[in-house]
Each structure stands twice: as C-alpha cells, then as structure tokens.
A = this chain, B = another copy of it.
Amino acid sequence: MINKLSQKNLLSKKHTQDYRQYLALNRNVAGFNLKKKELIYTLVSDKSKGAYVWDIDNNKYIDLTMGFGSILFGHNYGPIRKELELQLTKSWSVGPISPLAGKLAVEISKVTNTERVAFFNSGTEAVMVALRIAKAVTNKKYFVFFKGAYHGTFDTLLTLKKDLKTNIAKASIPGITQSILNESFLFEYGSEEAISFIQENKEKIAAVLVEPVQSRNPSFQPKSFLQKLRNVTLENEIALIFDEVITGFRIQMGGCQEYFNIEADIVTYGKVIGGGLPIGIVAGKSKYLDALDGGAWQYGDDSIPQIKSTFVAGTFCHHPLAMAASLKTLEILNLSNGELLQELNNTTTAFCERMNAFFYKTV
C-alpha cells in the first residue's frame, strides 16, 4: 500500500529528496516515523483550479482544506485573479498607504461588528499584536489560553504542557524557553478551573485568548463557557481575545462572535479574508486598538492622541495586492449575504456524514 501510493508520487518524492539539502521545510518530516517514512514527502504542485490541484506527477487531487483555509472560493478563482491583475497595473508596492486599506478597514468593521481594524502579515503576527495591546491597555501581564487551540507560532504560546500546581505553561519545545512562557497560563478548554483562576487572578490577567471553535476539535462548541469567559473578563478589565484566523468569515459572516452572539474585545483574522494573499488582522474595540496609534484626534483644533502607543511595524503590512484580494473577497461574501457560507456548511456536513457512513461500513 505504501509502495503503491509512493509510486504515484515519484516526482514529488524525488523533489523532496533532491532539495532537502537546501530547503529546510518542516512539512517534509511532519508525522515522521520509520514505518511510514517512504510516504513522508510533500506534494509538489504548480497548477491548481477550483477544488483541484495537480501535483508534478500530474495526479489530480481535491483540496479539502482549500489552501489551509485561505481560499474560500477555490484555487485560482477568476474574479480575485482579475482583481490582482488590475492592481498590478496600478501599484503593488509598499511605502505610501494604499487607499484600499482604509476602505477594507471600514468594510471589515461593518461585517464583524468591530470598531477598529489593523493589518499585519500573518495570523502569527496578529496574535502577537493582540496580546501586546491587551497588556498595554490593561497594564497587566498574564494571559490565559487553552489546550487544543492553535494560535500560530509566537513563542509565548508554543507549548502543550503546563505546571499542574501553578498552571504556568511549561517549556516543552526546543528553543522555546521558560522565561518567555512564564506569563502564559494554560487550561483545559471549557474547564470551570479556568474561570476560577481568572477570577482569583483578575488583578494580574491582561487577556484571555481563545479559539472559540478549535480547529483540532470542531464539534466542541462551549457557548455557555464562552459566555462565562465574557462575563468574568468584562467584570475585571480583562481583554477577551477571539482568535478567528480559522473561523472568521467562514463559520458565519460575523465569525464566532455572531455564531455565539458574544462580543469579544479583540479579534484576530487571517486566511479566508486574504483571498489567497498573506494577511493577518487585528480588530476590536477602540479601547484596545487605540494602543496602536493613540486613538481619535483631529486636525484644526488642539486634540492630540489620547493614549501612549505601543510599538508595531512591518514593511509589508497593508500590501496593495493583499488589500485588493481581501476587498474582493468581502465584496463576494457580502453579495451572497452569508448564504454562500451557509451552503458551504451544509455541503460540508453532508460530506462528513457520507464519509463517516462509508468508514463505519468499511471498518
């Protein structure tokens, strides 16, 4: 079986082997074990369309994850490609700000019911900034996060272990040191223990970071727990951060905030909203987002920025190509008024049911 499969991917396998010396790529060893090693390679592809990708051996695949969740309308979707081609005739470099950034901020603010929006390059950067502004505004240091969540690769979040007495996240990955984890507190998702801990340590906790529906465990949707988190954070000047890099613009137009009818203080987005281009977004209440630029002031009077800004930066933030792809994505989603997402959810549910029935029969 392993042999048969790997025979279909001779060129991808050879490519993985030939370039391994030069290209350091962790996907090339994902899930490595000795028994499966002849199947441990990445599919190499330079052709894709709609639901399909073709690898360099010319096998055709259905991409069930749609570009790790980053291309909702399918690969090489015409309307977005055209938008990129058009933007290439105007400006596709950074420096002055693109007029598309402001427009996109307004549109995202409307759809997600957030007050302000800021653009970065990846979900990882967005989560890093979300924690930074939460700490800046509350002037506190700790944050709470949950097992099973995926929040990207910022160091303070990279472990699956914790100290059972203190609940402090515990170093377990090479290169991630304990000092960087010492303000991160890790709990079981949905546990009462988390709520009590937050209550007891409210003076020190700046933020609770949560992936409301965990991509690793999508059937667990603890609405009442999320409501408790919202209450305890609201009462204690703690920022509730929804990491919606995966669920945003996907579970519903307004993401998990709408799905659970719970308003977060800060929300991170990425993937779908980029329309295939790299993007990371931090949105939320002015109270927190103002930490990026000092908040409201006007020309022609004596108003000034109201709060001291923290530091953020990034050469490629608000890249015109990402802004153009993102605006078009939102335009298409808005046109369907959320029905497209509902249809997709229905199709996916039906597909999962058929797959499950098939596997139950087969096993």
Binding site for B on A (CB under 8 A): 13, 15, 17-29, 32, 34, 37-38, 42-48, 53, 55-56, 63, 65-71, 75-76, 81, 84-85, 88, 90-102, 105-106, 109, 115-118, 121-125, 128, 131-137, 139, 141, 152-156, 158, 173-177, 179-180, 182-183, 270-271, 274, 276-278, 282, 289-294, 296-300, 302, 304-305, 308-316, 318-322
Contacts and interface: CB of A to CB of B under 8 A. Distances in A.
Contacts of A76: 88, 91-93
Contacts of A101: 19, 23, 25
B315 A97 contact: no
A215 B88 CA distance: 29
Nearest to A316: B278
Given A102-B19, A177-B141, A292-B24, A67 B95 contact: yes
Contact of A99 (B44, B95, B136): B44
Contacts of A19: 101-102, 105-106
A91 B46 contact: yes
B296 A20 contact: yes
A173 B311 contact: yes
A32 B173 CA distance: 42
A21 B296 contact: yes
Contacts of A308: 174
